[in-house]
Amino acid sequence: MNELFAKGRTILRQLAAHGYKGYFVGGCVRDYHMGRVINDVDITTDALPEDIERIFIHTIDIGKVHGTIIVLVEDIPFEVTTFRTESDYSDFRRPDVVTFTRDLDSDLERRDFTMNAMAMDGDFDIIDPYDGMMAINRKVITTVGESTERFGEDALRILRAARFSSQLEFKVDDDTKRAMLKHAENLKYVAVERSVAELVKLYRGANPSAAKVLMAETHLIKYLPFLDQVDEAAFLKSNVHSLECELALQIYQTPKLKETLHELKLSNAVKTEILSIVNLLKMVDSSSIRHLAYDFDDRVLNITKDTIVKNSFLQIGNRMTRLESAIAMKPKLPISDPSEINLDGRTLMRLFEAQGGRWIRTILSAVEREILAGQLDNDRDKIIEWVKAHVEFEAGNIKIAEK
């Protein structure tokens, strides 16, 4: 038995011991019956949030007003949510009113897709009032009830349909697809961070290319930041398996898109990786193998190589050979970054009896080039000897002599 279900059953048992019902619910039930890896397990119950806090010792209130309490079992968190119904969604994101209920079917009825509207008790018996198992067997994504109502409630569900089509390799049924197209414009009301989280999962799925076709057919890309500026043909042409590579490839093809990258509110680390891939694609034909190996980390080198392999229009000249050579050379470089140079600014200031300034960076850059070229050992004494022999310093002005 999956460890998460084993731990989760202790929660169901404790709820039952206090006179309440409890069930596994949603994606974990779907994935259990599909034999997929399960990373988290959600629980639904007729116990009210205050009852959940009373029954369990270790709890965290993450959304009591909406009925959700985290219950910790041996430091493993489980979201335990009270059965609920929801009113209108006037902002296309959140229900205006949440009402707790004692009826499991009413709780399942508010969920997005039939495959996610199933519950399972502690004996692993399934409760499936909306034919979720039929949808799974047919490999079809269909909403619970009227598609236009479900997407009108929460526009993020439109993007979730595309994400599930990639992850599960399911097709979206015709009625659901028509509703996606009808409500696509409402994606503009969804927080960027929520949309990006779905896109990240979509691109990591088994079939992002099929999901991209769906996104184009239903006009989702017209209402997503950054992607709304991307040429549809370029979007469909790319073959990538991460959002970062998609963004990098589109910027490489249309450089002005770099100006809209900030709209996605990505972390600085992610933006740096994206722009590094773009720069490597630009430089791979012209920079020396040694500098390609030195200027880019292993991850960027390998991601870029994989991107070129998957996209024939990038396979220009001897790019693959150059990248493979750079990857092979990287572990053999004398230094991997400037911090490994056995010389620092303080030593240079003492050597020239001068205050710090830009001249230090100039000398260190020259030393870095010599070490990378194999003309100078990364040895402190030898570096100082080289500096004395090649650097002329006077009143903060320096001149680096040629060999």
Read out DSSP for 284-309? TTTS-HHHHHHHS-HHHHHHHHHHHH
Band of pLDDT at residue 331, cut at 50, 70 and 90:
very high
Indicate whether 272 belongs to any domain.
no
The per-residue pLDDT for 88 is: 53
Band of pLDDT at residue 217, cut at 50, 70 and 90:
very high
Band of pLDDT at residue 214, cut at 50, 70 and 90:
very high
The encoded tokens of residue 193 equal 């961070």
**One domain for residues 12 and 88:** yes
The encoded tokens of residue 241 equal 């398996």
The per-residue pLDDT for 92 is: 52
| CA 346 to mean position of chain CA atoms | 42
The per-residue pLDDT for 95 is: 58
Count how many Cα atoms sit within 13 Å of the Cα of residue 203 in the half-sphere of its side chain. Answer: 16
Rounded Cα distance, 275 and 329, in Å? 22
Asked if 273 and 309 touch (Cβ cutoff 8 Å), the reply is no
Rounded Cα distance, 119 and 129, in Å? 9
Indicate whether 53 belongs to any domain.
yes
The DSSP code for 342 is: S
**One domain for residues 294 and 355:** no
Alpha helix segments (H runs only) across 154-265 = 156-168, 174-183, 192-203, 208-217, 232-237, 243-253
Band of pLDDT at residue 103, cut at 50, 70 and 90:
very high
Range of weakest confidence among 121-130, 199-208, 215-224, 386-395: 386-395
Whether 4 has a pLDDT exceeding 90, the answer reads yes
Indicate whether 259 belongs to any domain.
no
Rounded Cα distance, 133 and 117, in Å? 10
Band of pLDDT at residue 174, cut at 50, 70 and 90:
very high
Rounded Cα distance, 89 and 87, in Å? 7
Best CA proximity match to 296, nearest among 261, 320, 330, 325? 330
Considering the chain, what is the average pLDDT of its residues? 94
Final residue belonging to a domain, choices 119, 138, 157? 138
**One domain for residues 353 and 308:** no
**One domain for residues 322 and 382:** no
Which residue segment(s) compose the domain that 42 sits in? Answer: 1-138
Whether 235 has a pLDDT exceeding 60, the answer reads yes
**One domain for residues 354 and 312:** no
What's the predicted TM-score (pTM) here? Answer: 0.89
pLDDT, mean of residues 305-321: 95
Whether 403 has a pLDDT exceeding 60, the answer reads no
- Cα torsion 124, 144, 217, 263: sign: negative
Indicate whether 220 belongs to any domain.
no
Band of pLDDT at residue 199, cut at 50, 70 and 90:
very high
**One domain for residues 396 and 321:** no
Band of pLDDT at residue 48, cut at 50, 70 and 90:
very high
Domain count, the chain: 3
Place of tokens 């088994």: 206
**One domain for residues 17 and 90:** yes
Indicate whether 166 belongs to any domain.
no
Range of weakest confidence among 59-73, 83-97, 242-256: 83-97
Q: What is the pLDDT of residues 13-28, one digit of tens each?
A: 999 999 999 999 999 9
**One domain for residues 36 and 7:** yes
The encoded tokens of residue 91 equal 């902002």
Final residue belonging to a domain, choices 332, 359, 377? 332
Band of pLDDT at residue 395, cut at 50, 70 and 90:
confident
Indicate whether 62 belongs to any domain.
yes
Rounded Cα distance, 84 and 100, in Å? 4
The per-residue pLDDT for 389 is: 92
Place of tokens 């911090």: 339
Whether 94 has a pLDDT exceeding 80, the answer reads no
Q: What is the pLDDT of residues 344-360, one digit of tens each?
A: 999 999 999 888 889 99
Indicate whether 292 belongs to any domain.
yes
The pLDDT > 90 percentage for the chain reads 89
The per-residue pLDDT for 397 is: 80
The per-residue pLDDT for 93 is: 56
**Domain holding 380: CATH number?**
1.10.246.80
**One domain for residues 320 and 344:** no
**Domain holding 46: CATH number?**
3.30.460.10
pLDDT, mean of residues 294-315: 96
Indicate whether 92 belongs to any domain.
yes
pLDDT, mean of residues 138-162: 95
**One domain for residues 317 and 355:** no
The per-residue pLDDT for 398 is: 82
The pLDDT > 70 percentage for the chain reads 96
The encoded tokens of residue 225 equal 């930041």
**One domain for residues 47 and 87:** yes
**One domain for residues 26 and 97:** yes
Rounded Cα distance, 129 and 390, in Å? 82
Place of tokens 């500026």: 229
pLDDT, mean of residues 192-206: 97
The encoded tokens of residue 142 equal 């269909």
Rounded Cα distance, 28 and 116, in Å? 8
The encoded tokens of residue 235 equal 């979007």
The per-residue pLDDT for 126 is: 96
Final residue belonging to a domain, choices 138, 155, 178? 138
